[in-house]
Chains A and B, each alone.
Chain A
Amino acid sequence: MIKQLSITDKRKWLKPSILAGLVVIIALLPVIQGSPYILHILILTFIYIIAAVSLRTITISGQFPLAHGAFMGIGAYIAGMASKWLGWPPWLTMPLGGLVAMGIGMLIGYPFARLRALYYAMGSLFFGIGVTYIIYAGGIWTGGYAGLIGIQSMFGSSKVAYYYFFLGLTVVCLLALYRFEFSRIGINLKAIAQSHLVASSVGINEGWYRILVVGVGCFFAGLAGAGYAHYNTVLSPASFGFMATLWLVMYVLLGGIESFAGPIIGTTILVLLPEFARDLKVYSPYLSAFLLLIVVFLMPQGLVSLPKMVMLWYSERKKGKKVAHVSGN
């Protein structure tokens, strides 16, 4: 898909070269500017991109779970506890975290699948809250309120190594999720989302597909969480609670739920912006509230639709007609 060239000669080399430039900048970023602080933010961005895109993948089936932060937490704590108490190395704990998150996701996905939208949302919300409470109640094993410390670090204190690791991991995960979405399975899922009655009538097993997509989404969330555990080396349940889930939802909705690149853009902006807004000091929460309101009121389809909206407005204005409205869902 990325490799397809545009039709006109003029644009023949434009897009690939921009994408190539993008790739070069991202790949050489640690060399271009050496601040480990910026690398730290970008590493977090990579981790959250994996989680946000996996959340969006679940939504193509029409389900919108509100527990994704908790699944990151499950992956993180499983990996962290395996590393701390069993001494397992990261290349074992990370898949373990992903698999456990996937297993739990599919386990609760099964009874949740038949709930209607509102109850599904509330139920997943409470499940997410319940997971954080269980972690709090975990005593010495999870560290409870004090957090889980002493997790084995993957690359010591070298942020550059982490940067390239998470860059690679993100690319692999994004490729996997992209292939999943545009495979036969993905098409079937979209069919279910549009009309489950019609989908069933052509023999698509609705329940099974719904559970499958939840499992896939939760696997990557758990994987991202596990990666976070080995990067941060300390964990707190508060990082995976309702607010974390809400931020992930915001990443997806800001970028645009309709497109694959939407969550990537949303995550990048929403992770970077608060860091650059530190000067606001006591007033910085207002910025978050402002962003929330912008997403809710102005961008029903997310930032991805912004160029479309701008060009539509421009072309309509050129023709002298009244501006057509890009209708939301």
Chain B
Amino acid sequence: MELIVATVTNLLILSSMYILVALGFAFLFNMLGIPNFAHGAIYMLGGYIGLALISAAGINQWAALIIAAVVMGAFGVFLERFCFRPFVGDFNRIIMVCVAVIVILQTSVNIIVGTQIVSLPPFAEGVLSIGLVSVSYERIATFAVGAFLLGMVIWFVNRTKWGQQMQAISQDIEGAFLQGIKVHRISALASFIGCALAAIAGCMIGAYLSLGPFMGDFMLVKVLILAILSGVGSISGIFIAGLVLGALDSILPLFISGAASDAVAVGIVVVLLLIRPQGFFGHEAEM
């Protein structure tokens, strides 16, 4: 019984972790069709910048979180302008640029701080124990931040002018141009938001677990799976996709080995792509 309760708790929190990390990627991929493979590296760098701000400048961790988000957001604008925009539609070139960015960021961080084990100070202390459930406030904070940001993003995409412009772009980019939408500006904004979200995730996970120069690699696969399951043009789908992946990763390892659970998760994604390429909630895309 305890195992079931623990598993359900793990499921919810793991899902929220995945959603939190994947939001930024989904923003660029599902909305604009840009697969920002460097997302994992940006997530990692955001965490390290947060740490640097806290330990070097003595800033409160929430403030450091926001500053790191802004910094990585600016980096995202730079990436979009020079690395993504020239190659829209050329999947191979975008992947190669992203891998170059990943290698540069990872190597630089590895050389500077790689050999130290570091972690951000926790965003919340203590453990909450109700009956059979025992969860640390830190994990609850991660869950809360993830849920909050997801809600904000969904509101942004569906209710604001910019969000709706992004939806238009994802449906038909030429039509969007013709409608007078400033596609380049919206792309830059989307990139800013996407990378800022990655940085926030990096700080929160960096506090909950620890920081490492290669922590982005592991997350990248999960993020890709989430984005595919959710589907092009849909942000709301991230929610269900996150739950599905969180469930798979919480429950499967209890029964089969870790590598096998990964294989199953990927297998499901491949099958889904074959049957319904646009994901659970996406629409047919012109790309």
Interface residues of A (CB under 8 A from B): 64, 66, 111-112, 115-119, 121-123, 125-127, 129-130, 133-134, 136-137, 144, 246, 249-250, 253, 282-283, 285-286, 288-290, 292-293, 295-296
Q: Which residues of A contact B285 (CB under 8 A)?
A: 116, 118
| Contact in complex: A246, B96 (CB < 8 Å) | yes
Q: Which residues of B contact A288 (CB under 8 A)?
A: 103
| Contact in complex: A121, B104 (CB < 8 Å) | no
- Is chain B's binding surface mostly helix, strand, loop or mixed? helix
**What 6 A-B pairs have minimum CB-CB distances, sorted nearest first?**
A136-B259, A133-B263, A137-B259, A130-B266, A292-B100, A137-B260
Q: Which residues of B contact A121 (CB under 8 A)?
A: 91-92
Interface residues of B (CB under 8 A from A): 33, 35, 87, 91-93, 95-97, 99-101, 103-104, 106-107, 111, 221, 224-225, 228, 257, 259-260, 262-263, 266-267, 269-270, 273-274, 277, 285, 287
Closest residue to B279 on the A side, CB-wise? A119
Given contacts A118-B33, A126-B225, A137-B257, 18 further A-B contacts (CB under 8 A): A64-B92, A119-B273, A119-B277, A125-B224, A127-B270, A133-B262, A133-B263, A133-B266, A134-B263, A136-B259, A249-B92, A250-B96, A285-B103, A285-B107, A286-B107, A289-B101, A289-B104, A290-B100
Q: Which residues of A contact B100 (CB under 8 A)?
A: 289-290, 292-293, 296
Complex: how many Å from CA A122 to CA B94?
Answer: 13
Q: Which residues of B contact A293 (CB under 8 A)?
A: 97, 100
Complex: how many Å from CA A253 to CA B93?
Answer: 9
Complex: how many Å from CA A296 to CA B95?
Answer: 10
| Contact in complex: A292, B262 (CB < 8 Å) | no
**Contact A126/B92 with A116-B277, A117-B287, A285-B107 known, Cβ cut-off 8 Å:** no
Closest residue to A110 on the B side, CB-wise? B274
Q: Which residues of A contact B259 (CB under 8 A)?
A: 133, 136-137, 144
Listed A/B pairs (30) with beta-carbon separation below 8 Å: A66-B95, A111-B274, A115-B274, A117-B287, A121-B91, A122-B273, A123-B270, A123-B277, A125-B224, A126-B228, A126-B266, A126-B269, A126-B270, A127-B270, A130-B263, A133-B260, A133-B266, A136-B262, A137-B263, A144-B259, A246-B95, A246-B99, A249-B92, A249-B96, A283-B107, A285-B104, A285-B106, A288-B103, A296-B87, A296-B96
How far, in Å, is A245 (CB) from chain B's closest CB? 10
Q: Which residues of A contact B269 (CB under 8 A)?
A: 126
What is the count of residue pairs linking A and B with beta-carbon distances less than 8 angstroms? 101
How far, in Å, is B105 (CB) from chain A's closest CB? 9
Q: Which residues of B contact A66 (CB under 8 A)?
A: 95
Q: Which residues of B contact A292 (CB under 8 A)?
A: 96-97, 99-100, 103
How far, in Å, is A111 (CB) from chain B's closest CB? 5
| Contact in complex: B267, A130 (CB < 8 Å) | yes
Complex: how many Å from CA A169 to CA B257?
Answer: 39
Interface-centre pick from A119, A253, A288 (highest chain B CB count, 10 A)? A119
How far, in Å, is B206 (CB) from chain A's closest CB? 22
| Contact in complex: B93, A296 (CB < 8 Å) | yes
Closest residue to A300 on the B side, CB-wise? B93
How far, in Å, is B90 (CB) from chain A's closest CB? 8
Complex: how many Å from CA A270 to CA B53?
Answer: 39
| Contact in complex: B97, A296 (CB < 8 Å) | yes
| Contact in complex: B96, A253 (CB < 8 Å) | yes
Q: Which residues of A contact B260 (CB under 8 A)?
A: 133, 137
Complex: how many Å from CA A255 to CA B225?
Answer: 32
